Structure 1
Amino acid sequence: MADTPELPGPSRAARALQPLLHDVVICVAAPAFAASPRDGQLRGARADGFYDHDRRLLHTLCLLLDGREPEPVGVQPLGPDRVRFTSVHRYPGDPTDDPTVIIERERTAGAGETVLLRNVGTVVRRLRVALTAATDLADIADVKRGLTGPAVAPSAPRAGGPALVWRSPTGRVRVRAVECPDGPVTAAGPTHGTFTWPRVELAPGGSWLIRLTITGRATPDPPGHPVAASPHVPWSDPVVRGDRRLIGLVRQGLAELRALRLADRAGRGSARFDDQFIAAGCPWYLTLFGRDSLWSARMLLPLGTELARGTLWTLARRQGTVHDDFREEAPGRILHELRPAESRHGHGLLLPAHYYGSVDATPLFVSLLVDAWRWGLPAAEVEALLPYAERAMAWIVRTCGKDEDGLLRYYPRPGGLLHQSWKDSADAVRDAAGRRVEPPLALCEVQGYAYEAATGLADLLHSRRATARARRLRTWAAALRRRFADAFWIDAKEGPAPRYVAIAVGRDLDPVTGPASNMGQLLATGILDGDGCADVAAWLAAPELNSGWGLRSRSAAVPGFNPLSYHGGSVWTHDTAIAVQGLCAAGRPAEAALLADGLLDAAVHFSYRMPELYGGDARTGTSPAPLAYPAACRPQGWSAASGVAVLGALLGLCPDAPRRRLRLRPLPPGLLGPLTVSGLRLAGADLSVRIDHAGRTTVTGLPDGWEVDTGGGAGSDTGAGAGPHLPG
């Protein structure tokens, strides 16, 4: 959610601004992370610090050698959770400008850091080494608002070795110096503490190492809050051969998702049932977000159903049961956001620890269960989760029933989120003239989600012989589809197609004009007919929305377009990936390939670590690489999962576990080069798919009794059993 700047009044100071993140180095091991400037020195500025469970444990950790800061020379990521900062210490009296003392700081999220000094010169060096530490133990919501709290005074306990300890009513932290050759002098002042080694002697070729452990968290410990996940990763590890860009995006994305895992152990009573899910993103959203966690799990279904199961159970346990205006809770509604405590987010926004202000998480919950069922989620899990899905669907039907137009609208409370779908910034919905449009609103993609949830749940109920309930849902969905067709289409005066889908309709079914990316998320829901899919595909591929690097959130041809705004023209990684999925599902391969190619090219420029969103400037033959949105989270869950989503879409994977049939519709040979993927998971079996230069498809590892449908094309082949290793 973005903060919208406001101009200061004539007699008051400007408010603090949200810290920018474009040059911040983040390492994460959820629920912990560390955010650092590129020199590694934490100075108490911006978002600097070590964090755990939304609490900043340290905001200052500054290294001095002989009273001087080292000179930074490089930063090297060592994985999603670790980073190395290298700097040098030079001597003005030396006959050379070359450094003779090299400093390497390895920082690890959730653990601490090591400091290694190496003498690469030819003379003995004697150094005074000091590390200064301080903290405000601030809540992440305050940090996001650009606030720094008052310094918390440390203490230096005598027992337990060299340590500094900070305590406040909201948090605690302990920093210990371990594995150091000589004990430091430890001093605790009113604003900071210091470890000092007055005389460190380094012989030529010698080294000196210390390790700091940093432990702490918010207090009191929030009951039932998710915790760090076990080492077990709830998805398979695929091997991809083909487009190097796709290989890099999948590999890096999965590494980041491993670091973003959290676990909910409530209610299962065994470590074996460590229900895992993907946190939304770091640094601002390193927690359970219904919408984000559901989409991440949905995108990873080609790698198994275990993550989907964990995500569904985590949200099912927190499904709404009562009416609560402050939490915006209602029976059947799915949670939007979980925090350790109530928090203020600026601009009058006050959110409870359990907040339900999302209109889209509830239908997405239903659709994830349906999709997981089709991918082979065990029948016992489907049966156990089905009542939660039916309660979620009941909330959707009731909410639409209360609306005068029968649509799924949101009506935010004062002090809650103004917009309650994925475009949730205050200016997320604008018309073609650039004017903000206020709720209540019925967003186009939310109607698609509701339709898809109803038809999918009807299929699931029908398979369980609940034919009457299934029939009622299909009837309801058909009526929603008709209402959508009547209300959402807008005639275009000019453009790539004669009409487009409104981003939303307001009161009296007034459509919000101006093409936006939201309509791309309709393509796979079934709410559009074939002509509608063709019109939407034309808009998504046109330069007004397709920047050349991905799908813009708002057309560049209308007033209010801003390529570096949160939702007014930037490119969202996950939004582009969902559009690619939809285009493939709707039989629009050329448009899918166009968007996928731009996204994969952007991934190269971001070293495959895709930001939450990035600039929507037009790509030209000489344009530079796209810029990340300055305050974008990176890593971000659904951005990291987008590589697998694109992979599944390009392969055209469409499983149907109840009928034991796998449908494959890969992109045609002219649009997709040869591609081999092993390590996919279908109904618990390892699956491999190979597509050669001519588009011939080979599938091995199908579960027993399954068949593959490649559309009757010549040259397809299937195999059963484990299947041989497929060469690239």
Structure 2
Amino acid sequence: MICVSAPAFAASPRDGQLRGLNAAGFYGHDRRLLHTVCLLIDGREPEPIGVQPLGPDQVRFTSVHRYPGDRTYDPTVIIERVRTAGEGESVLLRNVGTVARRLHVELALATDLAGIADVKRGRTGRTVRCTTTADAPGLDWRSRTGSAHVRATGPGPSPEVTDGPEGGTLTWHRVLLRPGESWKFRLTVSGSAVPEPPGHPQAPSTPSPWSEPVVHGDRRLVALVRQGLGDLRALRLADPERLRHDGPEDQFIAAGCPWYLTLFGRDSIWSARMLLPLGTDLARGTLWALARRQGTAHDVFREEAPGRILHELRPADADHGNGLRLPSRYYGSVDATPLFVTLLVEAWHWGLPEADVDALLPYAERAMEWVEETTNRDEDGLLRYYPRPGGLRHQSWKDSEDAVRDAAGRRIEPPLALCEVQGYAYEAATGLAELLAARGRHTRAERLRTWAQALRKRFADTFWLPSPGGPAQRYVAIAVGRGLEPVSGPASNMGQLLSTGILDPDGCREVAAWLASPELNSGWGLRSRSAALPGFNPMSYHGGSVWTHDTAIAIQGLCAAGCNEEAYRLTNGLLDAASHFAYRMPELYGGDDRAPDAPAPLAYPAACRPQGWSAASGVAVLGALLGLRPYAPARTLRVGTLPAPAGDAGPMIVEVGGIRLAEGTVTVRVDPAKGVTVTSLPDGWRWYTG
């Protein structure tokens, strides 16, 4: 059970007892503050009977305490523990019996103050010695890398506090509870990295930077959007720097909990892109947080270069094992930089104020210069990644060690030009050209268009592979290796090309056929690798599992390309899968076939949940199904047509309010008989379908 309030979270077994095992504990800023919080009543652990999430940041564990000598099996003491990320927990004991009870209450506390990278690797550190506090009943821990503090408050006498090298205990002797009485105490848990990282993102102090939509229609989509926005509120972080000390807070979405609760270039950008129908403030904050950390120099260890956009920000350098050591500020991604440019362009389309667009434009231009310079480095003119030894081997969203395999299941090593990355680069160049032309900079805009068209032709000549007997006559290779050798084997990456513009209409239709085929469409979402290929593993990280955001991006592209039937199939599968996860979508889940004798979707064991772009996927699907295409400079909104549901499934959406355009909000209503209507448009705006 995970509860999160970035940059803090708590991970607990379902009984609520933290015993120093696995990844359980209270965390803050990538540091485990406590790994043991074990409650004993009269020397025994309570019997767990239930667990209930109370929100993204809070969970309640309920247990009971029995007395073996009683003449009934009924429990007479009920214990409720409410654990809150970033705060601590409260413990309530209630006597529901008819006899007064004197309880011996003991709480064992300990920690290793381990960093999140070590926890993920299973490297539990040695227990840190604790000391009693002088100011209030509690315990303190301190190491050269972190510190933790626990304080106990409550009515009645203070607990007896003992400390030592293996941890400490808080003990309340002979707590009297008469029939019907209750007693409650509270633990405050705090801590930090040592030394505290300067300028590191922090918890936001202002409300969420998006509107709250009102969705009526398909109950699955309603629930997915509602749960997703709740999780996104808990995943928000804020840049401590601002343009003005009295200016707006620059918020962004952390990648995911527990492993990536920080600023991630690609993940934070995609989350902001997906939420653009609810306003541009999140995009603005994300862009500024990344712009302030844009590369300015060449640094081999960081893989930094002028114009390159950050991949990952951590409080300290971290050893991830197997020779992978990453700096606190790491730039090793090939996709974050073009995605940064596209986020600015799309935010401009949605109505980001012109002053913000102008202020961010130089950063986007420097980012595009990095893209162009990197393609110039390649004799084939493609956007490739060249990892350093000891850095991430694969540097797009499929970044595991075996992320790129060919049709025979063989690992393909970098340098590689991934197909979706070429689409990102094309989309960034054409979008930036449009933005520059709108500011009268036609010469630079024309050069970008020429560059983009050349990339588009190289892509068409290089990436397509024949597929006799397949759902289409050809498919897009996942990547091109050395010597322009395409990597064979259908994979989901081609789905992210559909909305970039790099494919022609025939190419879009062929990709759509593959995405709808049983090889890639599991029935619960889009598989990352074809199920017909050797090495397919439905529970691998990138070799056959379903990624929530990948499916949502494919749905966006299918809707944009007018492939409504294929879009509906993927959407219906994704929404049905969401119902098995209580609509808190994991980062990825199993890619097993949807069949009567097959298991329901199961989360990947180490998946982040909640996770930023998974939580934002509901809004992404919502916007895709409505076909929303705003263009704020001309004050126009295009609304598409919904995919036609199969059979008697009925309309997926009836009405959506709270869609934000520039300074106003609109409501889109879908009537199966009368079509689409848009109301409450801001002054001067017009809408059309098509």
Q: Give TM-score scaled by structure 1 length.
A: 0.93
User: 2:262 is matched with which residue?
Assistant: 287
Q: Aligned partners of 1:522, 1:166: CA distance in 2, in Å?
A: 50
1:103 to 58, 67, 79: 79
Question: Which structure 2 residues correspond to residues 705-720 of structure 1 after superposition, within 5 A?
Answer: 705-711=684-690
Q: Aligned partners of 1:660, 1:243: CA distance in 2, in Å?
A: 30
Q: Aligned partners of 1:679, 1:305: CA distance in 2, in Å?
A: 13
- AA in 2 matched with 1:428: A
The structural deviation recorded for 1:107 is 0.2
Contact map agreement 1:651 1:665 (CA 8 A) in 2: yes
Tell me which moved more, 653-662 or 511-520: 653-662
User: 1:718 is matched with which residue?
Assistant: none
2:673 to 694, 711, 716: 694
Number of matched residues?
A: 686
- Unaligned stretches of 5+ residues in structure 2: none
The 3 A distance-change label for structure 1 pair 620 and 247 is same
Q: Aligned partners of 1:185, 1:402: CA distance in 2, in Å?
A: 67
Q: Aligned partners of 1:437, 1:550: CA distance in 2, in Å?
A: 26
Tell me the alpha carbon deviations over residues 172-191 of structure 1, each in whole angstroms, 9 at most, x when there is no partner: 11100012322100000111
The structural deviation recorded for 1:232 is 1.1
Q: SS of 2:321's equivalent?
A: coil
Question: Which structure 2 residues correspond to residues 501-650 of structure 1 after superposition, within 5 A?
Answer: 501-650=476-625
The 3 A distance-change label for structure 1 pair 637 and 404 is same
The 3 A distance-change label for structure 1 pair 115 and 625 is same
Q: SS of 1:103's equivalent?
A: strand
Are positions 1:414 and 2:393 aligned together?
no
Tell me the alpha carbon deviations over residues 427-484 of structure 1, each in whole angstroms, 9 at most, x when there is no partner: 0000000111000000000000000000000000000000000000000000000000
Q: Aligned partners of 2:207, 2:95: CA distance in 1, in Å?
A: 41
Question: Which structure 2 residues correspond to residues 26-37 of structure 1 after superposition, within 5 A?
Answer: 26-37=2-13
The structural deviation recorded for 1:674 is 4.5
The structural deviation recorded for 1:247 is 0.1
Q: Aligned partners of 1:569, 1:157: CA distance in 2, in Å?
A: 52
Structure 1 vs Structure 2: percent identity of aligned residues? 73
Tell me the alpha carbon deviations over residues 100-148 of structure 1, each in whole angstroms, 9 at most, x when there is no partner: 1110000000000000001111111111000010011111000000011
Are positions 1:51 and 2:35 aligned together?
no
The structural deviation recorded for 1:666 is 2.2
Q: SS of 2:345's equivalent?
A: helix
Contact map agreement 2:242 2:248 (CA 8 A) in 1: no
2:133 to 157, 166, 170: 157
User: 1:446 is matched with which residue?
Assistant: 421
Are positions 1:141 and 2:117 aligned together?
yes
Tell me which moved more, 693-702 or 417-426: 693-702
Tell me the alpha carbon deviations over residues 204-234 of structure 1, each in whole angstroms, 9 at most, x when there is no partner: 1111100010111111110110000124110
- AA in 2 matched with 1:698: T
Q: Aligned partners of 1:674, 1:317: CA distance in 2, in Å?
A: 40
Q: Aligned partners of 1:263, 1:220: CA distance in 2, in Å?
A: 20
Contact map agreement 2:565 2:644 (CA 8 A) in 1: no
1:309 to 275, 278, 284: 284
Q: SS of 1:311's equivalent?
A: helix
Contact map agreement 2:32 2:112 (CA 8 A) in 1: yes
Contact map agreement 1:668 1:695 (CA 8 A) in 2: no
Are positions 1:327 and 2:302 aligned together?
yes
- AA in 2 matched with 1:124: A
Contact map agreement 1:432 1:514 (CA 8 A) in 2: yes
User: 1:130 is matched with which residue?
Assistant: 106
Q: SS of 2:125's equivalent?
A: coil
Q: SS of 1:273's equivalent?
A: coil
Q: SS of 1:251's equivalent?
A: helix
Are positions 1:190 and 2:165 aligned together?
yes
Are positions 1:118 and 2:101 aligned together?
no
- AA in 1 matched with 2:218: D
Q: Aligned partners of 1:620, 1:60: CA distance in 2, in Å?
A: 42
1:206 to 181, 184, 188: 181
Contact map agreement 2:564 2:644 (CA 8 A) in 1: no
The structural deviation recorded for 1:706 is 1.2
User: 1:717 is matched with which residue?
Assistant: none
Contact map agreement 1:60 1:135 (CA 8 A) in 2: yes
Q: SS of 1:702's equivalent?
A: coil
User: 2:40 is matched with which residue?
Assistant: 64
2:407 to 426, 432, 450: 432
Q: Aligned partners of 2:308, 2:581: CA distance in 1, in Å?
A: 37
Q: Aligned partners of 1:482, 1:249: CA distance in 2, in Å?
A: 39
User: 1:217 is matched with which residue?
Assistant: 192
Q: Aligned partners of 2:248, 2:199: CA distance in 1, in Å?
A: 15
1:388 to 340, 363, 374: 363
- AA in 2 matched with 1:495: G
- AA in 2 matched with 1:446: V
- AA in 2 matched with 1:268: L
2:248 to 270, 273, 284: 273
Q: Aligned partners of 2:19, 2:2: CA distance in 1, in Å?
A: 15
Q: Aligned partners of 1:500, 1:479: CA distance in 2, in Å?
A: 21
User: 1:9 is matched with which residue?
Assistant: none
- AA in 1 matched with 2:268: S
Q: SS of 1:600's equivalent?
A: helix
Q: Aligned partners of 2:393, 2:652: CA distance in 1, in Å?
A: 44
Contact map agreement 1:673 1:693 (CA 8 A) in 2: no
Q: Aligned partners of 2:453, 2:406: CA distance in 1, in Å?
A: 28
User: 1:4 is matched with which residue?
Assistant: none
Contact map agreement 2:568 2:643 (CA 8 A) in 1: no
Tell me which moved more, 419-428 or 231-240: 231-240
The structural deviation recorded for 1:73 is 0.7
Q: SS of 2:616's equivalent?
A: helix
The 3 A distance-change label for structure 1 pair 288 and 673 is closer
Q: SS of 1:104's equivalent?
A: strand
- AA in 2 matched with 1:161: A
Q: Aligned partners of 2:226, 2:356: CA distance in 1, in Å?
A: 29
User: 2:212 is matched with which residue?
Assistant: 237
Q: Aligned partners of 1:448, 1:250: CA distance in 2, in Å?
A: 28
- AA in 2 matched with 1:656: Y
- AA in 2 matched with 1:75: V
Are positions 1:253 and 2:228 aligned together?
yes
Contact map agreement 2:567 2:643 (CA 8 A) in 1: no
Q: Aligned partners of 1:627, 1:670: CA distance in 2, in Å?
A: 26
The 3 A distance-change label for structure 1 pair 194 and 673 is closer
Tell me the alpha carbon deviations over residues 225-275 of structure 1, each in whole angstroms, 9 at most, x when there is no partner: 000012411000001000000000000000000000000021424254210
Contact map agreement 1:265 1:271 (CA 8 A) in 2: no
Tell me the alpha carbon deviations over residues 350-394 of structure 1, each in whole angstroms, 9 at most, x when there is no partner: 000000000000000000000000000000000000000000000
- Unaligned stretches of 5+ residues in structure 1: 1-24, 712-728
- AA in 1 matched with 2:100: V
- AA in 2 matched with 1:110: G
The structural deviation recorded for 1:494 is 2.2
- AA in 1 matched with 2:24: D
Are positions 1:373 and 2:348 aligned together?
yes
Are positions 1:264 and 2:208 aligned together?
no
Q: Aligned partners of 2:492, 2:63: CA distance in 1, in Å?
A: 44
User: 2:458 is matched with which residue?
Assistant: 483
Q: Aligned partners of 1:469, 1:446: CA distance in 2, in Å?
A: 22
Q: Aligned partners of 2:70, 2:394: CA distance in 1, in Å?
A: 62
Tell me which moved more, 93-102 or 252-261: 93-102
Q: Give TM-score scaled by structure 2 length.
A: 0.99
- AA in 2 matched with 1:56: R
Q: CA RMSD in A?
A: 0.9
